[in-house]
Structure 1
Amino acid sequence: QRVLVADGAMGTMLQAYDPSLDDFDGHEGCNEVLNVTRPDIVRGVHEAYFAVGVDCVETNTFGANLAALGEYGIADRVFELSRAGAALAREAADGFASVERPRFVLGSMGPGTKLPTLGHVAFEALRDAYEANAAGLIAGGADALIVETCQDLLQVKAAVVGARRAIEAAGRDVPVIAQVTIETNGAMLLGSEIGAALSAIEPLGVDVLGLNCATGPAEMSEHLRYLARHARLPLSCMPNAGLPELTADGARYPLSPEELAAAHVQFTAEYGLGLVGGCCGTTPEHLARVVEAVAGRQPVERQPRIEPGAASLYQHVPFRQDTSYLAIGERTNANGSKAFREAMLAENWEECVDIARGQVRDGAHMLDLCVDYVGRDGVADMRELAFRFATASTLPIVLDSTEPAVLRAGLEMLGGRAIINSVNYEDGDGPDSRFTKIMGLVKEHGAAVVALTIDEEGQARTADWKVRVASRLIEDLTTNWGMRVEDIIIDCLTFPIATGQEETRRDGLETIEAIREIKRRYPQVQTTLGLSNISFGLNPAARIVLNSVFLNECVNAGLDSAIVHASKIVPMARIPDEQRQV
């Protein structure tokens, strides 16, 4: 209905009260303890912001998390201090609220000091601590949860998943806001571009996405422009009062209240922001000017250009490539690549990473990672390799396994948006089926999915059968699992056609026809194919020709991507006529 204004800095306001070591209960600098020992100070900060007209205040819980409280040896107090912080903000909000003018409490969930992508902390431990953080905030009366100052996309995922679990347990409808921090170099601390952040965070089911901290509004403008163009979600922004200047008295923030207000006037008008506020260095005076400048404005409607895709830690990769098909590198697959399998069995992890990097050089857009191999601990292998691939590869990862536990291990190592390969109806779609277990992971982690045309009768062989299973999958995933059609990748599958058996002769043709019909019925859906199956059993030279010709036919029929060894595909113009005809 209207643009909402949040508060500004908390830490500097608390410091102005000059709390004593006793106030901190011996935990010097742990602001969250003040929620219990000096509630009057914390309430005073909230009231100072409400008094100048803000709609929302953030709770004094930025450090009520596993890492920050762990440094003081009080990690077991996450829930307690979160609830106390939310209750104080709720009390202040209710004191200023009226029927015409409600006031809101945003439960602050900070980043902590440990980065899961770099192995500082296990995803599971982080997720569970964030669940306690969120549960405390909800119990204390928070209206929304704000995961803020995010530096590691895997940390964002842990926080949002934890928050979602707490919301479900509480049985309340609580919006989740996620705000990433883009440094002056134009990326998050670990190198993530804003496109990677959008691709990874939006599918997690957050309600608002934005930026805060690190810089002033000037440095945020281009990143907000990107979000305004591409994000479906409402947007927020809480900048610092400019870039800090170091002085003899500590950091000084140069941005004036008028300048912050002018920036938010521009951001709300040009980028359609619905929630604005301030971060480090911003004061009640800053927010008073912002309230005067944007209060009562209606959010500007945007017409975002959606670009479905996946993301590595570093970059977004669209599913639809402008000039070619999307190449998913097949060589990091223990079943398809002898070199990769032998390196994995020898636990020569650096060699595995080198094979992955080689596919980047060969022109792959994504990597298919499969560790399933008889006699191996797939969970341990997936953890090891997904952890390494997360930072060693700039490409998004397709996690390829039939085992839910193996897929979970991979998802908990990857901050970007992964693709799960695969779901199918081989053992049905009941509550205990593999399909249901895998889709639970897909939904929680915001992954895209490769869906195979296999049902209870087996792998679909004819075009009609493939289309029938694909339609069932698409309707099921969109209706029952909340997926968007454009995040579903249908694999029509093919058997080898050079077996000499009469019943396999038409398999390639049936696959081409199935792709054409599925794309006619569902133009937004993606399609893929494990390409090299078609030529299994032939000599290497013949395989290159058959794979290349088959890929060309499939792309002409509407194929969007292929799991392929990209350097072994030859353009049609470079294949001699006789070989192509054969």
Structure 2
Amino acid sequence: MTGTRGEDLRTALATRVVVADGAMGTMLQAQDPTLEDFQGLEGCNEILNVTRPDIVRSVHDAYFAVGVDCVETNTFGANLAALGEYGIAERTSELSEAGARIARETADAYAARDGRPRWVLGSMGPGTKLPTLGHIAFHAIRDAYQRNAEGLLAGGADALLVETTQDLLQTKAAVLGAKRASAATGVDVPVLVSVTVETTGTMLLGSEIGAALTALEPLGIDMIGLNCATGPAEMSEHLRHLSRHARVPLSCMPNAGLPVLTKDGAHYPLTAVELADAQEAFVRDYGLSLVGGCCGTTPEHLRRVVERVRGLEVPPRDPRPEPGAASLYQSVPFRQDTAYLAIGERTNANG
């Protein structure tokens, strides 16, 4: 079975610019949920899906009210590692389904008012343990991501968003879990991947954007893009690479700039107009299909973005995919040179 809304989303992403929401966690915390709301597990935002759905719904409502096309579910931490730290890993499916259902109900209510489709992106976050570093077994998180995704699909998600990924092995586990969930439930929805590139110019473990594209695109993902860690200025060159080489549509959800530490905590300096300027330029220059915001962005940021880009046609791209193989760190194109090629291993004599 194919999810009709999911197919509609695929069509939209191929033809026009779709706008997603912004930050979730800060807006939840701003409503001062109590320790009782968290069932004693302070900071576990996913618990609010069952104890305070009204708070979660109010965040979705705030973004839909400014005109966005889709919202992400409150399930960023509904995975084995994050919930395991609270001792409730067995609640992955329950909390995922509850989060998706709240977003689905809110989206349907807005769609019923004006007939314009609204979509739900099922958020699948990175967790806190990285398989490449041996923190957790690959098969364990793959199977847990499948439970995460099955819950999201049961709750009515129109797409599965593997987001804020820092380790390519973790990303692969999440994508495979999402694909297995679609097969198990018979619901075919787009699988979107958003990697996080640090200010160093690579993902947390040192992977360049080219390595990410080479490793992930063959898995059959429907979209690749960037989110979190930096503001739009630091994402430009990475988006340029994706625009030149990616066969699939592109996304970008930056933070509201790089955080500035003040006496009152971290402050994100990018204004709503500045974010809208950047996203409009990215759509024009790199052919983005999905835009939104991450940490520090608010409904006002997204209102400005909606005014600029929602409904614009996706500019044509002429990608030149470069066949190659990727290590954890970089992609090596399948290109034969006449130069001498030495293959060896360096030994660190200092131990």
TM bracket, shorter-chain basis: over 0.9
- Of 127, 136, 150, 1:112 maps to 127
Aligned residue number for residue 212 of structure 1: 227
Cα shift at 1:11: 0.3
Deviations 1:296-341 (CA, angstroms, capped at 9, x unpaired): 10001100111001100000001123445988x6xxxxxxxxxxxx
- The residue type paired with residue 221 of structure 2 is V
Deviation (angstroms), 1:206: 0.5
* SS of equivalent to 2:306: helix
2-side partners of 1:259 and 1:280: how far apart? 15
Taking the aligned partners of 2:255 and 2:75, their CA distance within structure 1 comes to 18
Matches within 5 A, 1:485-500: none
For 1:6 and 1:260, locate their aligned partners in 2 and report how far apart those are by CA, in whole Å: 13
1:53-82 superposed Cα distances (whole Å, 9 cap, x missing partner) = 000000000000001000000000000000
Paired-residue identity, %: 75
Please tell me the residue identity of whatever aligns with 2:345.
Answer: R
Deviation at 1:202, TM superposition (A): 0.4
**Residues 43/219 of structure 1: CA separation in 2 closer, same or farther (3 Å cut):** same
Aligned to 1:7: 21
1:36 aligns with 2:50: yes
**Letter of the aligned partner of 1:188 in structure 2?**
M
- Residue 62 of structure 2 is matched in structure 1 by 48
Q: Secondary structure at the match of 2:256?
A: coil
Residues 427-462 of structure 1 deviation map (CA, whole Å, 9 limit, x = unaligned): xxxxxxxxxxxxxxxxxxxxxxxxxxxxxxxxxxxx
Deviation at 1:172, TM superposition (A): 1.2
| Cα-to-partner distance string for 1:71-113 (whole Å, 9 max, x where unaligned) | 0000000000000000000000001015741000000000000
Give secondary structure in 2 for the equivalent of 1:169.
helix
Matched, 1:183 2:198: yes
- Alignment-derived partner of residue 523 in structure 1: none
Aligned to 1:254: 269
- Partner in structure 2 of residue 490 of structure 1: none
Which residue of the partner structure matches residue 117 of structure 2?
102
Q: What pairs with 1:127-526 in structure 2 (closer than 5 Å)? A: 127-324=142-339, 357-358=345-346
Other-structure match for 1:79: 93
Residues 31-62 of structure 1, C-alpha deviations (whole Å, 9 max, x = no match): 00000000000001000000000000000000
* SS of equivalent to 2:162: strand
Contact 1:167 1:173 in 2 (8 A): yes
Instruction: Give me the whole-angstrom Cα distance separating, in 1, the residues matched to 2:336 and 2:98.
Output: 50
Amino acid of the residue matched to residue 88 of structure 1?
I
Matching residue within 88, 112, 124 for 2:102: 88
Q: Which amino acid aligns with 1:160?
A: V
Structure 2 counterpart SS, 1:321: coil
Work out the CA distance in 2 between the residues paired with 1:326 and 1:101: 57
Structural RMSD (CA): 1.4
Alpha-carbon distance in structure 2 between the residues aligned to 1:315 and 1:240: 25
Counterpart Cα distance in 2 of 1:240 and 1:301:
26
Using a 3 Å threshold, how does the CA distance of structure 1 residues 225 and 27 change in structure 2: closer, same or farther?
same
Q: Which amino acid aligns with 1:68?
A: A
Counterpart contact for 1:319–1:326, Cα < 8 Å: no
Distance in 2 separating the partners of 1:321 and 1:257:
48
Q: Secondary structure of 1:179's match?
A: strand
Indicate if the aligned counterparts of 1:9 and 1:278 stay in contact, CA closer than 8 A. Answer: yes
Match of 2:67, SS? Answer: coil
Pair 1:321–1:158, CA change in 2 (3 A): same
- Find the aligned partners of 1:254 and 1:63 in 2 and give their Cα distance: 26
Q: State the structure with bigger RCO (CA 8 A, min sep 6), 1 or 2.
A: 2
Q: Name the amino acid aligned to 1:147.
A: V
Q: Secondary structure of the equivalent of 1:357?
A: coil
Counterpart selection for 2:38 from 24, 28, 42 = 24
Distance in 1 (CA, whole Å) between partners of 2:224 and 2:64 is 23
- Equivalent residue letter for 1:320: R
Task: Report the 3-state secondary structure (helix = DSSP H, G, I; strand = E; otherwise coil) of the residue aligned with 2:345.
Answer: helix
- Give SS of 1:220's match: helix
Using the alignment, how far apart are the partners of 1:109 and 1:53 within structure 2? Answer: 24
Question: Given residue 81 of structure 1, which amino acid in structure 2 is its aligned partner?
Answer: L
Q: Which runs of 5+ in 2 are unaligned?
A: 1-14
Paired with 2:340 and 2:85, the residues of 1 have a C-alpha distance of: 49
Q: For the residues of structure 1 that align with 2:180 and 2:314, how far apart are their CA atoms?
A: 30
Aligned residue in 1 for 2:8: none
CA distance in 2, matches of 1:324, 1:198: 27
For residue 82 of structure 2, the aligned residue among 61, 68, 76 is: 68
Q: Is the Cα–Cα contact under 8 Å of residues 212 and 279 in structure 1 kept in the other structure?
A: yes
Letter in 1 for 2:84: G
With structure 1 as the length reference, what TM-score do the two structures score? 0.56
CA distance in 2 between counterparts of 1:296 and 1:136 reads 30
Q: In structure 1, how many angstroms separate the alpha carbons of the residues matched to 2:312 and 2:179?
A: 30
Deviations, residues 390-427 of structure 1 (Å, cap 9, x unaligned): xxxxxxxxxxxxxxxxxxxxxxxxxxxxxxxxxxxxxx
CA positional deviation for 1:358: 4.9
Alpha-carbon distance in structure 1 between the residues aligned to 2:323 and 2:282? 25
Structure 1 consecutive aligned stretches of length 4 or more whose deviation exceeds 2 Å: 321-327
Give the letter for the 1:357 counterpart: E
